[in-house]
Structure 1
């Protein structure tokens, strides 16, 4: 099956933003397929574990923000490159990968996160 790359990109951003900003149950209902395989070791596998993790994060850190720097799609995968700002101005770079099923629903997730350093040896930004 050929995937609608633009629609998958739009849905990955909407899914992430909806969950991150405090509505993970809505995000799962709208954008997740029959299963949800989680590779982040801090989050349990499956839809309910995802919802619980993001509900706790929203409750504990309501003033966080996210900006989407890049969105890349190929085949059944979408990658998000984000800039997150948390309380006390802690900043993080994240790279998330989502796998979509043939119905355009998210069914698998991988990610990596690192702090934005105050300075770099190369002088380049994280973006």
Structure 2
């Protein structure tokens, strides 16, 4: 298992899907099975593609920055900063499990909107 390769592929997969090409992302980076834990996205590849196609149609000007990428075993964690139209900003943490062939087969995430005011001067990313 190559953690550096998994990290590179997790970022490429998420970036490709987020920027509007989820079908190609699925073809290149997912294995035979894709287990989805985000309650807003249907399980499997078709649910993933439908969700990101809809997001691209509804929010074509969204953007994403990858802040951190951490790998342990067959898991990769991404810490991102997302900006959506209307200037809503979010911090997300996505976790991907890779199968024995180096393909993504499972996903979890946590999303938090960045508030306008904070009790401290530190960013959330």
- Same fold at TM > 0.5: yes
Q: For structure 2, which runs of at least 5 residues remain unmatched after alignment?
A: none
Q: TM-score, normalised by structure 2?
A: 0.98
Report the counterpart of residue 64 of structure 1 in structure 2: 62
> Hey, what does 1:4 align to over in structure 2?
2
2:123 & 2:49 partners in 1: Cα distance?
32
SS state at 2:86 partner: helix
1:96 aligned residue (94, 100, 104): 94
What is the deviation of 1:121? 1.2
TM-score normalized by the length of structure 1: 0.97
Alpha-carbon shift at residue 119 of structure 1 (Å): 1.9
**Which of 89, 113, 116 matches 1:115?**
113
User: For the aligned residues, what is the CA RMSD?
Assistant: 0.6
Report the count of equivalent residues. 125
- Post-superposition offset of 1:124: 1.7
Q: Post-superposition, which runs of at least 4 consecutive aligned residues in structure 1 deviate over 6 A?
A: none
